[in-house]
């Protein structure tokens, strides 16, 4: 996840710096600032949708202070202020600032620059407190999300395909007006303040953990995952871990993000400049191996809460590791199947995906488990995964280096010599080699685990 967030932020920065160029290309007939303004409302509607889905509610952080001699309004301000530090609030400024400096400041002047910037900040803050308020007030389940997304898509299609009415024109006119009369931006700040006050009043009358923190009280039933039984004890362990993933918030959001990654190929394959193998190798590795990378990088921290229990129970370390391989194979196969439709972009895409699927199972599983033996950080499963840095340490960063470089070290020399197929074959052969010699590496991993288990257990006990 750490790699992912950094990667996304990097993308944002790059997009921000070339935003004026991008806008010039996509809307050549229009003034750059006018087209920029046209996207603002859409951006914030998407922003709101994502916030509903992913923004954390910082509620439990006030628990240790509730019974102390601290006034309620101080607690609420504390809650509100600490919630501000999220990527959702940084991104809009980060995205618009380069364009504002490059275009608005020299062409229009400082007052106009500040007017537009403050308006954007105002809308950001309104979105922020509105999503906090609505998320606390109503339990937004998937149905609401779909309704919101559906309405948004309807607006987009009405806007761009049927041209019935245009939100983008509305957005463009509104913010062009702000540029013309910068004092108008204070209205947006005032709206932000109103939403803040709405949120404040709601919190003030409902500052009880029980009410703010909606505990899931539905009936939990015992289930059995049928297919895994045939793998013996390793299968039982994998079944337990599957339940861990499905029943806890943080691993569940890892899965959601992994599924979103299945669309990653659309960015690359639709672009003709990435017609070579290298792009597909990169994409294929991420899409078929996203679970191994995203979930595997935090092993065994997922089980940190009951790691002592695993060590003292009759769980064999070999079975423990085999259950991980089982889980990796299961999810990677699922990802491979889900990416089969990319065959639309040519058979070679499917073949490269398959090669990278083998590479992931052969090499990346071992790599991830090797680093799992050096990971002593506890993870709280009940917190969301987005922008959660708990459990992120040096091990995740170091892991990403061989993970990203290894396939290219094999591929690039051959490709530069003019045999890209040879490079691909090298990846496949090495992948198969490690897959078939897995038992050897497994015993090495188990041996290392037996040495390190005291350190791992001790680290996991530190809350």
Tell me, what DSSP letter sits at residue 101?
A: I
Check residue 244 for interaction with other proteins (CB under 8 A).
yes
Both tokens assigned to 211? 């009410």
Considering only CA atoms, which of 126, 99, 112 is closest in space to residue 13? 99
CB–CB of 239/265 below 8 Å?
Answer: no
- Which position has the token pair 């952080």? 61
Note whether 318 binds other proteins by CB under 8 A.
no
Q: Is 446 in the site for other proteins (CB under 8 A)?
A: no
Q: Which two tokens stand for residue 335?
A: 């990802």
Closest separation between CB of residue 235 and other proteins, Å?
10
User: In terms of CB distance, is 29 or 221 closer to other proteins?
Assistant: 221
Site string for other proteins, 187-216 (x = CB under 8 A): ----------------------------x-
222 forms part of the interface with other proteins (CB under 8 A): yes
Stretch that binds other proteins, among 97-105, 148-156, 312-320, 360-368 (CB under 8 A): 312-320
| Residue 233 binds other proteins (CB under 8 A) | yes
Q: Are 55 and 383 in contact (CB under 8 A)?
A: no
Interface map 246-285 toward other proteins (x if CB under 8 A): -xx-------------------------------------
CA 328 to chain CA centroid, Å, is: 19
Residue 278 has which token pair?
């290298």
379 touching other proteins, by CB under 8 A: no
457 is a contact residue toward other proteins (CB under 8 A): yes
Instruction: Candidates 24, 102, 135, 243: give the one binding other proteins (CB under 8 A).
Output: 243
Q: Does 85 bind other proteins (CB under 8 A)?
A: no
| CB-based contacts of 24-33 (< 8 A; 24+ apart in sequence) | 32/99, 32/103, 33/103, 33/104, 33/107, 33/108, 33/176, 33/179
Exposed, middle or buried: residue 108 (CB in 10 Å: 0-12, 13-18, 19+)? middle
Which residue in the set 63, 72, 444, 461 belongs to the binding site for other proteins (CB under 8 A)?
461
Separation of alpha carbons 228 and 412, rounded Å = 39
Q: By CB under 8 A, name the one of 381, 410, 442, 445 that touches other proteins.
A: 381
Minimum CB distance to other proteins smaller for 306 or for 444 = 306
- Tell whether residue 376 is a contact of other proteins (CB under 8 A): no
380 binds other proteins (CB under 8 A): no
Sorted by sequence, the CB contacts under 8 Å of residue 171 that are 6+ apart come out as 37, 38, 39, 40, 41, 42
Nearer to other proteins, 171 or 375 (CB): 375
- Nearest to other proteins of 126, 248 (CB atom): 248
Is residue 220 involved in binding other proteins (CB under 8 A)?
yes
**Distance (Å, whole) CA 99 – CA 92:** 12
Whether the Cβ atoms of residue 171 and residue 38 lie closer than 8 Å to each other: yes
Nearer to other proteins among residue 198 and residue 457 (C-beta): 457
Is 227 near other proteins (CB under 8 A)? no
CA 137/CA 119 separation, integer angstroms: 27
Residue 442 CB, shortest distance to other proteins, in Å, is 17
Interacting residues toward other proteins by CB under 8 A: 215, 218-223, 233, 236, 240, 243-244, 247-248, 305-309, 311-316, 381, 454, 457-458, 461
């Amino acid at each position: 996840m750490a790699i992912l967030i950094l990667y996304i932020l990097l993308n944002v920065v790059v997009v921000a710096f070339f935003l004026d160029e991008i806008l010039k290309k996509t809307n050549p007939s229009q003034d750059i600032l006018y087209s920029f303004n046209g996207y603002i409302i859409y951006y914030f509607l998407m922003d709101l949708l994502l916030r509903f889905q992913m923004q954390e509610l910082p509620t439990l952080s006030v628990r240790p202070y509730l019974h102390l001699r601290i006034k309620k309004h101080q607690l609420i301000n504390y809650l509100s202020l600490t919630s501000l530090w999220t990527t959702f609030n940084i991104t809009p400024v980060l995205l618009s600032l380069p364009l504002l400096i490059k275009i608005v400041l020299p062409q229009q002047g400082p007052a106009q620059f500040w007017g537009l910037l403050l308006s954007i900040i105002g809308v950001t803050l309104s979105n922020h407190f509105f999503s906090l308020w609505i998320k606390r007030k109503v339990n937004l389940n998937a149905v609401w999300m779909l309704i919101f997304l559906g309405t948004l898509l309807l607006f987009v299609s009405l806007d761009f395909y049927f041209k019935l009415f245009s939100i983008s024109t509305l957005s463009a006119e509104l913010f062009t007006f702000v540029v013309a009369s910068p004092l108008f931006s204070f209205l947006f700040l005032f709206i932000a303040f109103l939403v803040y006050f709405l949120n404040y009043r709601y919190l003030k009358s409902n500052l009880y953990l029980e009410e703010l923190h909606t505990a899931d009280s539905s009936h939990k039933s015992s289930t059995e995952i049928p297919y895994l039984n045939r793998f013996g004890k390793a299968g039982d362990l994998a079944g337990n871990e599957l339940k861990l993933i499905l029943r806890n918030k943080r691993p569940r959001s890892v899965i959601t993000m992994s599924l979103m990654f299945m669309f990653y190929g659309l960015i690359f394959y639709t672009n003709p400049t990435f017609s070579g193998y290298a792009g597909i190798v990169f994409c294929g590795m991420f899409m078929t191996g996203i679970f191994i990378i995203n979930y595997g990088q935090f092993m065994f921290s997922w089980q940190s809460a009951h790691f002592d229990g695993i060590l003292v129970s009759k769980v064999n370390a070999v079975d423990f590791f085999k259950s991980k391989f089982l889980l990796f194979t299961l999810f990677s196969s699922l990802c491979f199947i889900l990416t089969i439709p990319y065959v639309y972009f040519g058979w070679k895409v499917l073949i490269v995906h398959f090669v990278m699927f083998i590479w992931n199972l052969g090499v990346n599983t071992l790599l991830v488990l090797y680093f799992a033996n050096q990971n002593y950080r506890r993870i709280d499963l009940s917190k969301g995964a987005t922008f959660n840095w708990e459990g992120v340490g040096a091990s995740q960063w170091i892991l990403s280096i061989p993970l990203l470089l290894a396939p290219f070290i094999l591929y690039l020399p051959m490709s530069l010599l003019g045999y890209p197929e040879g490079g691909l074959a090298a990846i496949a052969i090495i992948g198969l080699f490690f897959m078939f010699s897995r038992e050897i590496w497994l015993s090495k991993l188990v041996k290392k685990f037996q040495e390190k288990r005291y350190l791992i257990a001790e680290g996991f006990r530190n809350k």
